[in-house]
Amino acid sequence: MLDLGCGEGVDCRRFNEKGAKVTGVDISPTLIKAAREASNSKNINYVESSFTALGDIVDNSFDQVVSVMALMDSPEVNSAFKEAYRVLKPGGSFYFVIKHPFTNRANKAVVKGALTHQTSYFESTPFNHTLEFQSEDVKNKYNIVSRQYPRTLSQYINPLLKAGFNLKAIEEPSPSSEALNKFACFNLWAKEPFYLMVHAKKPE
Ligand SMILES: C[S@@+](CC[C@H](N)C(=O)[O-])C[C@H]1O[C@@H](n2cnc3c(N)ncnc32)[C@H](O)[C@@H]1O
């Protein structure tokens, strides 16, 4: 399988532990280096590349393509969908997870436990997002900022269909009651969708 925007390879290692032969692609040389250092499995291969231009990766070569929390970080998704389609075998699945288009917006504030959005859902100006850590031991330790390219739901789904995919399922998960009891900060995500998960297939 192929992991687009694999970062330091956490999911590549997870899928490999379950028996998959995995290729991870990421644009960051630092993260590809960290991924290579984190595992010496001969069944994980890393490629430093943009997922919008997969270069030497041959057509119809993967059973599955996944992308976890990476497509919102790219100014361009049309080519990413076209490339995912090109490298998948006919009948293969493409699974991607993004920060929900409804939620991934600039100028948000939490008022009485709910998000208020001062930026329109239709606003497409990129913005910087600073990661907020909940855990006390790392709260002020890191300053991780990522550039975000907000898109509406249709700006993801229409290019996906145009690339040739059939849409199979969409999920908008919310925290379980067990998670809500354990972590108060999850209450917000019981009211607003944090993730959007999409399953699409390349036709046979
Ligand atoms: C939030 S991280 C997620 C990493 C990993 N999938 C995970 O869940 O831990 C987003 C990743 O997407 C990568 N990325 C952003 N734009 C990219 C592009 N055009 N091509 C490849 N990787 C990209 C970033 O370098 C970063 O590693």
Beta bridge partners of 200: 94, 167
Q: pTM, whole model, 2 decimals?
A: 0.94
Q: What is the pLDDT along the chain (204 residues), one digit of tens a residue?
A: 999 999 999 999 999 999 999 999 999 999 999 999 999 999 999 999 999 999 989 999 999 999 999 999 999 999 999 999 999 999 999 999 999 999 998 887 777 777 787 899 999 999 998 887 767 777 777 778 889 999 999 999 999 999 999 999 999 999 999 999 998 888 888 888 999 999 999 999
**Ligand 1, CB cutoff 6 Å, lining residues:** 5-7, 10-11, 25-28, 31, 50-52, 68-70, 73-74
Q: What are phi and psi of 163, to 5 degrees?
A: -70, -15
Which pLDDT value is given to residue 116?
81
> Is residue 9 a contact partner of residue 35, using CB atoms and an 8 Å limit?
yes
Residue whose CA lies nearest to ligand 1 atom number 16:
74
- Return the residue matching tokens 């493409």: 94
Which pLDDT value is given to residue 70?
97
Q: Using the 8-state DSSP alphabet, how is residue 73 labeled?
A: G
The structural domains of the chain, ordered by start, are 2-201 (3.40.50.150)
- Give dist(CA 84, CA 177) in Å, integer: 35
| Spacing, Cα 74 to ligand 1 middle (Å) | 8
Burial class, 6, CB count within 10 angstroms (exposed 0-12 / middle 13-18 / buried 19+)? buried
Q: How many helices (H) and strands (E) does the chain have?
A: 5, 11
Q: Using the 8-state DSSP alphabet, how is residue 150 labeled?
A: -
